[in-house]
Amino acid sequence: MNQNQKISDKIQNLKKQRNAVILAHNYQIGEVQDIADFVGDSLDLSQQAARTDARVIVFCGVHFMAETAAILSPEKTVLMPDVNAGCAMANMITPRQFAELKKEHPEAVYVCYVNCTAETKAECDYCCTSANAIKVVQAIPQKKKIVFLPDKYLGSYVKSQTKRDLILWDGYCPTHRRILPEDILKKKAAHPKAEVLVHPECTPEVIAMADQVLSTSGICRHARESESEEFIIGTEIGILHRLEKENPKKKFYPASELSDCPNMKLNNLEKILWSLEDMVYEVKVPEGIAKRAKKSIDRMLEIT
């Protein structure tokens, strides 16, 4: 029995003892996706966290995702195997900056991309994910002024699709910004039959070159259902594990090999085991913030 198998067996035993479930984002490394009970995008994971009967959620993703699970399931213990897994974009708006923004646009409706802190969510009217941002914005009455934060690229994509005049915060994902239009051109020249699937966190120049703009689970679904046999994937490279596993006969090329998120790569099998052994690291959201943040998440879940 190899080392990973031994660790996996211990994890399975502990999971039963603790009544735990392991949720993993589509960007997690292969061994983490393979041990998880559920792998998905931010929307799937928040829905899964809200509906599971387990008492403990081991969340393999980044901090804002675990926070969302803790907000939706305050009676459960939410653990992160590596507490340092933050999201660069989520940290691009501070509470002080947000307070100033609100002073500038006191009458606006605030829509936050789920990639933000619980404090930011608590100050917003609606939350959204890459899978439902267009629907959420479309659900807001036409005459309302809307501020969208923190992702200016997702925001500008939503703006182009809804024709709503959104005010955008200047945040972005450094991992997706590494994908350049010339990367897509190069890959298209090498694989002319491939469909180009990109995440809406990419820049507008990259989005303009895509055949489909989708959330991470949307990319997985489209790759399964499409007749195409080759795909150029414009998102974080961890998703290739799931794509290749689910579609062994199809070929997937990363738009850029540089698009890896260091935070998403912090978890591994050993850390999941330690997390379950020692019940670390618990993610808790202060009650007042959780209550207000939940309203914006619930509004999103109602629309979806």
In 126-284, the DSSP E strands lie at 126-128, 146-149, 167-168, 195-198, 212-213, 230-234, 251-254
Place of tokens 């990109």: 198
Shortest gap between Cβ of 277 and ligand 13P (angstroms)? 28
Residues of span 159-178 touching ligand 13P by CB under 6 A:
173
3-state secondary structure of 274: helix
Residue 112 touches ligand SF4, criterion: CB under 6 A: no
Name which of 12 and 84 has its Cβ closer to ligand SF4. 84
Give the integer Cα–Cα distance in Å for 261 and 273: 22
Alpha carbon 197 to its chain centroid, in Å, reads 16
| From 46-54, 205-213, 257-265, 276-284, span contacting ligand SF4 (CB under 6 A) | 257-265
**Contact with ligand 13P (CB under 6 A) among 216, 263, 275, 296:** 216
Given a contact cutoff of 8 angstroms between Cβ atoms, the answer to whether 157 and 201 are in contact is no
Residue 136 touches ligand 13P, criterion: CB under 6 A: no
Residue 29 touches ligand SF4, criterion: CB under 6 A: no
Given a contact cutoff of 8 angstroms between Cβ atoms, the answer to whether 207 and 187 are in contact is no
Residue 130 binds what, of ligand SF4, ligand 13P, none (CB under 5 to 8 Å, by partner type)? ligand 13P
Residues of span 227-246 touching ligand SF4 by CB under 6 A:
236
| From 84-92, 97-105, 210-218, 245-253, span contacting ligand SF4 (CB under 6 A) | 84-92
Give the integer Cα–Cα distance in Å for 225 and 259: 25
Name which of 63 and 76 has its Cβ closer to ligand SF4. 63
- Reading the block at residue 288, the tokens are 């007042």
Residue 256 touches ligand 13P, criterion: CB under 6 A: no
Residues of span 222-241 touching ligand 13P by CB under 6 A:
236
Angle between helices 63-72 and 42-51 (to 10 degrees): 30
Residue 33 touches ligand SF4, criterion: CB under 6 A: no
- Reading the block at residue 54, the tokens are 């387990």
Residue 296 touches ligand 13P, criterion: CB under 6 A: no
Shortest gap between Cβ of 215 and ligand 13P (angstroms)? 3
CA of 118: how far to CAs of 211, 236, 293, in Å?
34, 23, 6
- Our CA angle for 137, 141, 143, nearest 5°, is 110
CA of 50: how far to CAs of 73, 162, 298, in Å?
6, 29, 10
**Where do contacts with ligand 13P occur on this chain (CB under 6 A)?**
26, 41-42, 115, 129-130, 173, 199, 201, 215-216, 236
**Where do contacts with ligand SF4 occur on this chain (CB under 6 A)?**
62, 87-89, 115, 173, 175, 201, 236, 261, 263-264
